[in-house]
Amino acid sequence: MLPQKQAEEAIVVSNFTEAEHDQGKEADETQLENESVLSVKNLLWHGGSAWDAWFSCASNQVAQVLLTLPYSFSQLGMLSGIILQIFYGILGSWTAYLISVLYVEYRSRKEKENVSFKNHVIQWFEVLDGLLGPYWKALGLAFNCTFLLFGSVIQLIACASNIYYINDNLDKRTWTYIFGACCATTVFIPSFHNYRIWSFLGLGMTTYTAWYLTIAAAVHGQAEGVVHSGPKKLVLYFTGATNILYTFGGHAVTVEIMHAMWKPQKFKYIYLLATLYVFTLTLPSAASVYWAFGDELLNHSNAFALLPKSGWRDAAVILMLIHQFITFGFACTPLYFVWEKVIGMHDTRSICLRALARLPVVVPIWFLAIIFPFFGPINSAVGALLVSFTVYIIPALAHMLTYRKASARQNAAEKPPPFLPSWTAMYVINIFIVVWVFVVGFGFGGWASMTNFVRQVDTFGLFAKCYQCKPPTPPVTAPPQHH
C-alpha cells in the first residue's frame, strides 16, 4: 500500500509543479506584455498584443483595393457588390481562423519536441510542412510567395496611379520608378513586431480615405446622365467578383502576424473583428461612388479619377500613398524572411546586413510593376489565380487533412469553436469553401479576369507609359489670317 500512496503523492506534486510552472509562464508573458505597452520606445516600435494584431489585419486588408471596389460595383451592380462583400468577408474570416488553428497545432507539436523559435519566424509553408509534409510545403511556398510578389507589385502600381492625380507632369511609369526606390527602404524593418505605429497610422489613413470617398460622392451627386447598367457581361461580372474575393483575402501574412504576438492563441477571432470594421469602410464608399458615377467607372478603375480635384482629395491621395508604402512592407516582409532562410541570413542580428541581403527581392517587383501597370485588372487576376488557392482552398484542405484521423481530433491543440462544436459541421463548411472557390473563384473568375487582363495588354501594351491617363490636350493653332 505504501508504494501506491507514494506514487499518488508524486502525481499530485507533479501536477502542482506543472500548474505552478504554467501560471509562472503566463505571469511572465503578462508582465512582458504590460512592460512592452508601458515603455515609450516599445509603444511605437515593438508590438505583440491582440490590438497590434487587429490593427495589422484591418490595415493590411483595405489598401489600394478601397479605390477599385467602386469599379467592381460597376461590373457587378449594387446588389451583387454588397452581397459578395459580406459573403467573401465571412469566408475570409473563416479561413483565417483555420490558419490560426493550424499554426497553434504546429507550434504546440514542435514545442513538445523542445524546438525553440527564439530567432526564427514561423511561416505558412513551414506549418504545412510540419503538419502535412514536403509536398504541401512546396505548394504553400509557391502560391504564397507568388501572391505576395504580385501583391507588392500592385502596391507600386497603385502608388504611381494615385500620385498622378496630384501631379501629372510625370507619367505613371516614371512615378513607378520613383516609388520603387522609396518602397525599397522597407528592407530596414526587421519584422511584424515593428509595425505597431505603422499599422495604427495606416488604418487611420484608410478610414479617412473611405469616408472622403463616401462624402465626396454624396456631395457631388449623381453625374449628368448617369447609367447603372451592371451587370451586363459575364466577363465583367466575374472579374468584379474576383476583385472582391481578393479584397477579403489579405491574410497571406496571417502566420507572420500571429508569430509576432505574445499570445498567438488570442488571434482566433481577430480577423473577423477586423473584417467587421473594414465593412464600415468598403460598403459605404463603394456604394456611394457607384451611385454617383455609375458606368463611367468601367473605364476608371481608380475612384480618384472621377472625383473633382480639391484639398480633401489631395489629402486622401497623400494618405493612401503613405499607406501603400506600409502595405508594400507588409506584403514584402514574408518574402524577405523566405529569402533570408534560403541564403542562410535569417538568424543575422545586424539590421544593415539583413537589409542588404533583402534588396534582390525588391528588384523583380519593381520590374513587374513597370511591365504590367494595369491597376484594376491585375487585382482580379491575382484574386482568381493566386488568392483563391493561397487564402481559401489550401487552408480548408489542410485543416481537413490535418484532423482526418480520430486521434488527431482527440489530441487537437484547438477544439472546434463554441458556435460550431461539431467536427462534421467544420468539414461541411470546408468542403463548401473548396468547391465554391475552385469553381466560381478560380474557374469562372480565372477565365473572366484573364480575358480582361489580355484585353488591357492588347489595348495599352506592355510597359504602358501612362495607363488610363487623360489624353493630352491638342495644341491650340492660330486661325489663318486673310489678306
Give the Cα separation of 476 and 213 in Å (integer).
Answer: 35
Q: Is the pLDDT at 56 greater than 80, yes or no? A: yes
By mean pLDDT, which of 131-145, 218-232, 449-463 is the weakest?
449-463
Contact 108, 413 (CB under 8 A): yes
Do the domain assignments include residue 385? yes
Do the domain assignments include residue 135? yes
Q: Which amino acid is at 319?
A: L
- Give backbone dihedrals phi and psi of 234, rounded to 5 degrees, phi first: -60, -40
Q: Is the pLDDT at 436 greater than 80, yes or no? A: yes
> What integer pLDDT is reported at residue 96 of this predicted model?
92
> What integer pLDDT is reported at residue 375 of this predicted model?
58
Q: Is the pLDDT at 27 greater than 60, yes or no? A: no
Q: Is the pLDDT at 452 greater than 60, yes or no? A: yes
Give the Cα separation of 258 and 52 in Å (integer).
Answer: 10
Helix and strand element counts for the chain (H, E): 19, 0
71-102 b/e with 16+ CB inside 10 Å = b?
A: bbbbbbbbebbbebbebbbebbbbbbbbbbbb
Give the Cα separation of 56 and 53 in Å (integer).
Answer: 5
Mean pLDDT score, 464-472: 58
- In order, the DSSP letters of 84-137 are HHHHHHHHHHHHHHHHHHHHHHHHHHHHHTT---TT----HHHHHHHHH-HHHH
Structural domains of the chain, count: 1
Q: Is the pLDDT at 162 greater than 60, yes or no? A: yes
Mean pLDDT across the chain, nearest whole number?
81
DSSP-assigned letter for residue 476: P
> What integer pLDDT is reported at residue 393 of this predicted model?
94
Domain that residue 247 falls in:
49-460
- Give backbone dihedrals phi and psi of 193, rounded to 5 degrees, phi first: -60, -30
By mean pLDDT, which of 203-207, 465-469, 479-483 is the weakest?
479-483
Q: Most distant CA pair in the chain: distance in Å?
A: 132
By mean pLDDT, which of 9-18, 142-151, 403-412 is the weakest?
9-18
Give the Cα separation of 295 and 236 in Å (integer).
Answer: 12
Query: Higher confidence at residue 413 or residue 10?
Result: 413
Query: Higher confidence at residue 166 or residue 5?
Result: 166
Local confidence band at 396 (pLDDT 50, 70, 90 cut-offs): very high
Angle, vertex CA 299, rays to CA 296 and CA 300, nearest 5: 85
> What integer pLDDT is reported at residue 193 of this predicted model?
63
Give the Cα separation of 249 and 341 in Å (integer).
Answer: 25
Local confidence band at 42 (pLDDT 50, 70, 90 cut-offs): low
Q: Is the pLDDT at 17 greater than 60, yes or no? A: no
Q: In angstroms, what is the C-alpha Rg of the chain?
A: 25
Contact 410, 390 (CB under 8 A): no
- Non-local (6+) Cβ contacts of 93 within 8 A are 248, 271, 272, 275
Q: Is the pLDDT at 10 greater than 50, yes or no? A: no
Local confidence band at 33 (pLDDT 50, 70, 90 cut-offs): very low
Do the domain assignments include residue 372? yes
Local confidence band at 350 (pLDDT 50, 70, 90 cut-offs): confident
Local confidence band at 199 (pLDDT 50, 70, 90 cut-offs): confident
Please report, for residues 20, 108, 111, 133, 240, the alpha-carbon distance to residue 114 in angstroms, rounded to integers and kept in the order given. 20, 10, 5, 20, 48
> What integer pLDDT is reported at residue 284 of this predicted model?
96
Do the domain assignments include residue 16? no
Please report, for residues 48, 90, 183, 193, 264, the alpha-carbon distance to residue 45 in angstroms, rounded to integers and kept in the order given. 10, 31, 19, 7, 19
Q: Is the pLDDT at 256 greater than 60, yes or no? A: yes
Local confidence band at 457 (pLDDT 50, 70, 90 cut-offs): low
Do the domain assignments include residue 8? no
3-class SS at 248? coil
Q: Is the pLDDT at 267 greater than 70, yes or no? A: yes
> Dihedral sign, CA of 468, 469, 475, 476?
positive
Do the domain assignments include residue 270? yes
Do the domain assignments include residue 308? yes
Local confidence band at 376 (pLDDT 50, 70, 90 cut-offs): low
CATH number at 211 reads 1.20.1740.10
Mind listing the pLDDT tens digit for each residue in 329-345? Answer: 888 888 888 888 888 88
Q: What share of the chain is helix, strand, coil (3-state, %, to 5)?
A: 75, 0, 25
Local confidence band at 112 (pLDDT 50, 70, 90 cut-offs): confident
Mean pLDDT score, 102-118: 88
Query: Higher confidence at residue 32 or residue 400?
Result: 400
Do the domain assignments include residue 300? yes
Q: Is the pLDDT at 272 greater than 50, yes or no? A: yes
Local confidence band at 84 (pLDDT 50, 70, 90 cut-offs): very high
